[in-house]
Structure 1
Amino acid sequence: MGVALAAAVAASVNQRDQALQLGVQGVYLDFEFASKNAAKELLDRLDSTQVGMNLAAVHQDDKTGVVRATVAVPDASVPKLTKKITDYRNRNNRYGNPMNAALVTNIEGIRHAALRSIFVGDPRRLPEPHTPIWWETWIRAGTREEFLNLARQSQLEVSDTSLTFPDREILLVRSSLDVLSRIFLNSLIMAEVRLALDTPSVFIEMRNDEQVEWSDEAAARLLPPEADVQSSVLILDSGVNRSHALIAPYLAATDWQALQSTWGPNDMRRFDGHGTAMAGLALHGDLEAFLKSTTPKQYTHVLESVKILPPAGRNDPKLYGRITQNAVRLMESINPGRWRVTCLAVTAKDDAKGGRPTAWSSAVDQLASGVAVEEEAKRLIVVSAGNSQPSTADVLGNYLDFADTSEVHSPAQAWNALTVGAFTERTNMIDPTFASWALVAPFGDLSPTSSTSLLWHDQWPLKPEVVFEGGNMIADASTPEPHTHTDVRLLTTDYDLGAAQFRHFGDTSAAAALASQMAARLAAAQPTYWPETVRGMLVHSADWTDAMKGHRTSTSFQGNRLLLRRYGYGVPNIERALKSASNDLTLVIQDSLRPFKNEGGRVKTNQMNIHRFPWASLDLTALEGIDLELRVTLSYFIEPNPSERGFIQRFRYASHGLRFAVKGPLEDEESFKARIQHESRPDEGAGIRDAGNELWEFGPKLRTSGSLHSDRWRGDIATLQGCESILIYPVSGWWREKRGGVPDYWDRDARYSLIVTLRAPEAEIDIYTPITTALTVPVSTEI
């Protein structure tokens, strides 16, 4: 241990820069402990005024359980720490035991620390080393002037905004990772660093002329889209102010429309510029990241807008289904060849009770399925889950109780839509004026206004399917309503340019805009993907945050149902959706089958497709003892038939259903198919006994609601290699049950997207190469 300490100290000293050395000199060291229990009693010893050490940060690896404590050790204290280690080796206490045994024996390792050691957040969000961005820099109390001197020497910009606590002071600093690392290596000032991309107050509080300067500078870096760009986000809202410098290059005049020509396509004060705010997020994402960068930007998708809200009066609620369909078809007539994501954040609060279809949600389903007009294409429609309006009393208790009784709005119960709820990572309140106010949502949990489907019957879809950032709120018992403070919201474009260029925004509207942006990026990268596939990929790449998982009291049906109907499948990951890694391989199949056939006047189940995967090509010995994860997602669109009679078997809402099942390791394919045919009929596949049901996270009973099904299997390589086949099979619907009429509804094909990912999450083993090599022969389909 003494050798490791000496090596870590030497590594730090060798990287020092004499020009940046101010104040007390020392080193940051990472101490590793095998577990939280091992570290718990020892952290106080590492934060010792007697020895002169200061504990900066503590992190635990979720996978290994290893605890890493980053400690600032002044040069003068290094000999004291060294003596503790040598005393353990050379001296005994009065009881005959080695000195300092409790400390030294529990230390697994000592390493030289880097700036990443004190970074709080997802390391995947760290910028490139030379890219300057804004950081939240948490410094030790009393070191402000020392830090400002180092910042001036390094030509860094430090915001006047700060927040002071007894032990820490938080400063906003614009720096690259490289420059901030040099300050870290040459001082003992910093305790934590975080990305400051979630504090838009600095822009909102600027005068408009200052905002114009920032907007113009960013616009100068905004490269126009390629001439042949084919991916777009269509905003159906209150219109968009196309004059905004950060919107105009990506919203052509021909793509800027109103449902009624007399309305005009521009945004309106009446709706507080909602459409322009949506457009900014659908193009840029959170605008602050682009404003604070210095690099040019070119997007792979463009914007389209059709104004569906009137400047005066109101639309007849009964006509919103037709309005939505007409607006989409209007833009399709202008740009018929585009891969379009339609984004709808206009919802009706009281129409989706219990998850039952409405005229509006059925129109969305019909539009997505492409069956309303002969030979229409299918469409991806992203709908916000809708916002609740909690009071202070609702959020100062367990705000999730209120969310769980706030139902998803219409038309977000549409089976074919991608319904988007909101979560938040915005927990950094910088404004000292509100220091006594409480944050409503903790980091990574549901946004305070997001709605859920906990109250719905299980026959209706799991909504929302995914969640995106929607901002947070703060609350104080002295006020009747919580506050949407700019510190915990997103930054986007404002419509009233005479007053402001930027505004804060949030809730499920913001989340839907961000989901649409991701879908459009994915469609641009994979233009051969179907709408069903892109919808499926967002779900397939999603996962619950630690905060969400913390609410799962068990892995039982009810425990998983709670999370699915509150958060959907979690937060999508764009990198995972766009490409495979060496230890994370995704396969996408786009196929179809004919669910039903007519034999002697009786309509029966017709066809099942079986897809085989080359798991046998993986090295059994190399993967032995390693946990593998198989994720399967099935996405398809149904044709709606809304009716209260949909509760009985003959008159169903959905035209058909599809399900997936995985072959058991001890089954041959014929017995596998025979088992599925036998088990699927009584309850539409919910009773299928998947091979090793206990290895599936959700199981058939929970995952089969709606028209998008996803589940995760975890097991070993030997079991996986016996489960090389996935069967896609139909269950009943009104195509089968409807009697008479023209055309024959049973005589139709149903297409689907099957997405399969194999991961070795805890191993750096190449599973990509052997499988892709084996896939030179196409995956077979069998009838």
Structure 2
Amino acid sequence: MADFPHFVLKETRTSLAYTSTIRGGDKKNSPPRPERKTHADQLLDALEKAEKKATASQAAEPAREGLQFIPMVFDQSSDFDLEIRQLENTSPGTRIVSAKERDGKKEYLVAVPNSEVSKFADKFRDYRDKETKKKQTPLNEKLASSIETIDSAELEDYWTDASENLPHADEEMWWEIWLSTAETDDDLAAWFRRVAANENVVTSPQQVAFPDRLVILGFTSLNGWRNFPGLLNHLTELRKANIVAGEFTKLPPSGQAEYINNLISRTTFAAVSAVRICVLDTGVNRGHPLLEQSLSSADTQAWEADWGSSDHDGHGTEMAGVCLYGQLRDYLYGDEPLELAHRLESVKILPPAGQNDPPDYGPITVGSMSLAEIASPSASRIFCMAVTAAGDDQWRPTLWSAAIDQAASGANDETRRLLIVSAGNLREDIGKNYPHENYVSSIEDPSQSWNALTVGGYTKLAWMQEEGLEGYAPIAKSGLLSPSSRTSLCWGDIPWPYKPDVVFEGGNYASDSSGFITNADDLNLLTTRSTADSDALLGTTGDTSAATAQAANMSAILQAEYPDFWPETIRGLVVHSAEWTSQMLDEFPTAQRKQRLRVYGMGVPNLGRARRSANGFATMVIQDRLQPFSFGSSDNSANEMHLHDLPLPREVLEDLGSTHIKMRVTLSYFIEPNPPRRGYVAQYQYASH
């Protein structure tokens, strides 16, 4: 799919005096049903073509050998949710294999028994020709109206990975093969491994069983699976297998160095003038081979000079690796050239021993940011801090959070800044009472800051094959909250932002049958390791620290792509690209949307969408100033509103006809803090302008 830069709109606004027009809501009109006869004939035609196409494919593809059903893709209508129950009840044996969303619409992969396709045709004819007795509405209208079109399913339709980009047909890689155990009494694993051996497909000795599902890893190409005899009799999903961090951490130092040297040889490092991520942490050991070309000695400092700028704990070096590379394991495992667009800075804000006395973390944080800015005043930078403090403040502004809000807004020096902070982690018994303990554990100071981008953790790491941990299973399911991540669910219904704003990969934990919980390399992110206590150059990190570093990595990539974008615009792009996983939507359905926001914010950001527009997905950016309230007024009276004329060509809109269009608007702004705790009377003064 072709991509292109986002559209930056200028001089599109008209400013008008604003007066609230809220007078109570109007009832929403239901969207019109499709024209009955035309839609029915289209469905019948699509069904017939899908059946013929599937029959032809069955004769040509070994993967369909012995197939007793026809795999079909039902596209859900843009206006009506698919009637899933009616779909499965149309004929005996029909079942939904998997579902995914593409371009805002859901696609359902459905297995229809060979002899039962005619039952769907009967339903569509009845919809066209018959009415219900009571209401005289078309028979089967809900089912027919909710289906936009039908097609025969190809092997590619079984791809349900988070990435929409399907691997090339001949690209060999590790795959997660999700098999259905519901329709067989045989030893499915034994069958799969036997056929795989015959086809020279390497399989992992490990496997994971879920209700009605068995997952085994296999190494081959998409064409390899196409030639796998009888695969579609049991296949439900294909996903890319994540290379776990343990594959690298268990290597001896010499083995790690081989991978590292290979990556360095194909990496182009960013120039000294490039965007920086300033890591506010325990210091960074810049001698690490993966870091030294991106972190000059002049860019490593400490709040107190006698602390030294080197990493006394290891945490800062771990953060630096994720800030610079993101998912390091993908680059180490691949062989493609890597071009880095940003560099690193480090300011040590924690002492080598004990704690700051007094613990003036507000002034220390802001002062440390100034150290970086004074050292390189012309550089563009993102600030990243995964240091939080426990307390009873919850959502209330503190000196620390207010200092961050003030520094971000530029209230004192007219320089706005993007600060990315972690939501904080559970400190005891992580995973013991998951996820309820996470729900009642508030995010920590200073992550309640309005202006900071607050990052929580979710996880997709739900596969482990680490030696010594046989009998352990991941605590969190893929797509759900990381077991260590805090939330703002316990805040209740208060006039304060939903926090975290977004979530990134925060790793997982494992437990055994007795309830004993442990950490595992396979369930964490690979990163650079401080070499003070070991010769190993690679280690793992997790929790909201790792999530925060990934958010900084994404923000720096965006800032390098769009150097003229404001800090709040970069923050807006990150949040604008975020979506909830299907598991998050299942955990908190529509009626619990506010709770979902308190746990996951706006969801998981997508770098591809945040970075570039594409066919069918355009992002328009407006950078402007708005003063919604009258400055200095005692009653917070309304001031102005802006109307924006979007440059959408009339001919293009007319050509779209009845095509369903979705518009998503993200407003990202920095407020000037006013944190005295005078109760709710001060809420508008804090929200400010």
Q: What interval of TM-score do these two structures reach, taking the shorter chain for normalisation?
A: 0.7 to 0.9
Bigger mean CA deviation after superposition, 161-170 or 433-442: 161-170
- After superposition, the Cα gap between the structure-2 partners of 1:610 and 1:187, relative to the gap in structure 1 and judged at 3 Å, is same
Which of 334, 337, 342 does residue 296 from structure 1 map onto? 337
Q: What pairs with 1:175-254 in structure 2 (closer than 5 Å)? A: 179-185=221-227, 187-188=229-230, 191=235, 192-197=237-242, 199-225=244-270, 227=271, 229-254=273-298
| Match status 1:58 vs 2:97 | yes
| 1:738 aligned partner | none
Structure 1 residue 527 corresponds to structure 2 residue 563:
yes
Indicate the residue corresponding to 2:522 in structure 1: 487
User: Given the alignment of the two structures, is residue 548 of structure 1 paired with residue 584 of structure 2, yes or no?
Assistant: yes
Q: The residue matched to 2:268 in structure 1 has which SS?
A: coil
Q: What SS does the aligned partner of 1:378 have? A: coil
AA in 2 matched with 1:319: D
2:258 & 2:576 partners in 1: Cα distance? 41
Q: Do structure 1's residue 381 and structure 2's residue 381 form an aligned pair?
A: no
User: Residues 85 and 516 of structure 1: is their aligned pair in 2 closer, same or farther, counting only changes over 3 Å?
Assistant: closer
Spell out, residue by residue over 1:524-567, the C-alpha distance to the aligned partner (whole angstroms, 9 max, x if none).
11111101111111112212222222233544xxx332111111
Paired residue secondary structure (2:578): coil
The count of corresponding residues between Structure 1 and Structure 2 is 594
Instruction: Give the letter for the 2:275 counterpart.
Output: S
The Cα shift of 1:236 comes to 0.7
Please report how far the alpha carbon of residue 360 of structure 1 lies from its aligned counterpart in structure 2 after TM superposition: 0.9
Whichever residue aligns with residue 266 of structure 2, its letter is R
What code does the residue aligned with 2:162 have? D
- 2:189 corresponds, among 141, 152, 156, to 141
State the AA in 1 paired with 2:686.
A
- Structure 2 counterpart of 1:473, one-letter code: Y
Given that 2:431 and 2:475 are in contact with CA atoms closer than 8 Å, whether structure 1 keeps it comes out as no
Aligned match of 1:330: 371
Corresponding residue to 2:670 among 629, 634, 637: 637
- Pick aligned residue for 2:603 from 567, 570, 579: 570
Q: Which amino acid aligns with 2:548?
A: A
What is the CA–CA distance in structure 2 between the aligned matches of 1:88 and 1:383, rounded to whole Å?
Answer: 53
TM-score normalized by the length of structure 2: 0.76
Distance 1:58 1:332 in 2: 55
Unaligned stretches of 5+ residues in structure 1 = 47-54, 72-80, 90-105, 153-157, 658-783
**CA pair 110-341 structure 1, distance change in 2 beyond 3 A:** closer
- Alpha-carbon distance in 2 for matches of 1:88, 1:371: 64
* Aligned residue runs from structure 1 range 258-337, under 5 A: 258-268=302-312, 271=313, 273-316=314-357, 318-337=359-378
Classify the secondary structure of the residue corresponding to 1:634.
coil
CA distances 1:105-128 after superposition (whole Å, capped 9, x unpaired): x999774632x2433422425445
2:572 aligned residue: 536
Quick one: distance in 1 between partners of 2:370 and 2:621? Answer: 29
Query: Map of 1:613-628 to 2, 5 A cutoff?
Result: 613-614=646-647, 617=650, 622-623=655-656, 625-628=658-661
Counterpart secondary structure, 2:614: coil
2:431/2:483 contact within 8 Å kept: no
Change in CA separation of 1:619 and 1:444 when aligned onto 2, cut-off 3 Å: same
State the 1:253 CA deviation.
2.4
- CA gap 1:30/1:388 in 2 versus in 1, 3 angstroms: farther
Cα–Cα, structure 1 residues 303 and 405, in superposed 2: closer, same or farther, change >3 Å? Answer: same
Structure 1 counterpart of 2:309, one-letter code: P
**Superposed CA offset, 1:247-298 (max 9, x none):** 2222222222222332222222xx3x11111111111112111111111101
**What's the counterpart of residue 730 of structure 1?**
none
Q: Which amino acid aligns with 1:382?
A: I
Is 1:611 paired with 2:644?
A: yes
Shift of 1:2: 9.0
Q: 1: CA distance between counterparts of 2:499 and 2:645? A: 31
| Residues 576-625 of structure 1: per-residue CA shift (max 9 Å, x gap) | 22222343332211112456768999997654433233568366665555
Number of the residue aligned with 1:451: 486
Q: Cα–Cα, structure 1 residues 229 and 41, in superposed 2: closer, same or farther, change >3 Å? A: farther
CA apart distance, 1:415:
1.2
1:660-699 C-alpha deviation (Å, 9 max, x unpaired): xxxxxxxxxxxxxxxxxxxxxxxxxxxxxxxxxxxxxxxx
In structure 1, the residue matched to 2:403 is 363
Q: Distance in 1 between matches of 2:92 and 2:538?
A: 46
Q: Secondary structure at the match of 1:326?
A: helix
Kindly report which structure 2 residues correspond to 1:450-469, keeping only aligned pairs within 5 A, or say none: 450-456=485-491, 458-469=494-505
**Distance across 1 between alignment mates of 2:51 and 2:374:** 70
Q: 1:132, CA displacement in angstroms?
A: 5.1
Change (3 A) 1:182 1:128: closer
Structure 2 distance, partners of 1:646, 1:381, is 27
Determine which structure has more spread, i.e. the larger CA radius of gyration: 1
Which amino acid in 2 is paired with 1:238? T
Moved more, 416-425 or 604-613: 604-613
Match for residue 113 of structure 1 among 137, 154, 157: 154
Q: Which residue of 1 is the match for residue 464 of structure 2?
A: 429
| Superposition deviation, residue 383 in structure 1 | 0.4
Equivalent residue number for residue 714 of structure 1: none
Letter in 1 for 2:223: S
* Amino acid paired to 1:331: A
1:153-178 Cα offsets, whole Å, 9 max, x none, are xxxxx576533769998655555xxx
> Does the CA contact (< 8 Å) of 1:318 and 1:360 recur in 2?
no
CA distance in 2, matches of 1:321, 1:253: 26
Distance 1:129 1:505, change over 3 A: farther
CA distance in 2, matches of 1:601, 1:172: 65
Give 2:247's aligned amino acid: V
Which amino acid is the alignment partner of residue 279 of structure 1? A
Contact 1:70 1:117 in 2 (8 A): no
Offset, 1:464: 0.9
Alpha-carbon distance, 1:506 to partner: 1.3
Tell me how far apart the structure 2 counterparts of residues 386 and 656 of structure 1 sit (CA, whole Å): 27
Contact 1:283 1:303 in 2 (8 A): yes
Does 2:654 correspond to 1:654? no
Cα 1:207–1:607 change in 2 (3 A) is same
Letter in 1 for 2:246: S
Contact 2:50 2:72 in 1 (8 A): no
Q: CA separation of 1:241/1:12 partners in 2, compared to 1, >3 Å: closer, same or farther?
A: farther
Deviation at 1:363, TM superposition (A): 1.1
> Aligned in 2, Cα 1:306/1:125: closer, same or farther, shift over 3 Å?
farther
In structure 1, the residue matched to 2:625 is 592
TM-score by length of 1: 0.67
Q: Distance in 1 between matches of 2:71 and 2:649?
A: 42
Answer 1 or 2: higher relative contact order, Cα 8 Å, separation at least 6.
2
Whole-Å Cα distance in 1 between the matches of residues 73 and 177 of structure 2?
Answer: 26
Counterpart Cα distance in 2 of 1:470 and 1:195: 19
Letter paired with 2:303 = L
Instruction: Give me the whole-angstrom Cα distance separating, in 2, the residues matched to 1:333 and 1:419.
Output: 26
Distance 1:250 1:332, change over 3 A: same
The answer (yes or no) to whether the contact 2:636–2:684 under 8 Å persists in 1 is: no
**CA 1:380/1:509 → structure 2, altered by over 3 Å: closer, same or farther?**
same
Deviations 1:686-735 (A, max 9, x none): xxxxxxxxxxxxxxxxxxxxxxxxxxxxxxxxxxxxxxxxxxxxxxxxxx
- 1:304-361 CA-to-partner distances (Å, cap 9, x unmatched) read 111212112211363111111121111111222222110000100115x231111111
Moved more, 545-554 or 401-410: 545-554
- Once the two structures are TM-superposed, the CA of residue 475 in structure 1 deviates from its matched residue by 2.4
Superimposed CA distance per residue, residues 203-260 of structure 1 (whole angstroms, 9 cap, x where no aligned partner): 22222322222222222222222x3653221111111222222222222222222223
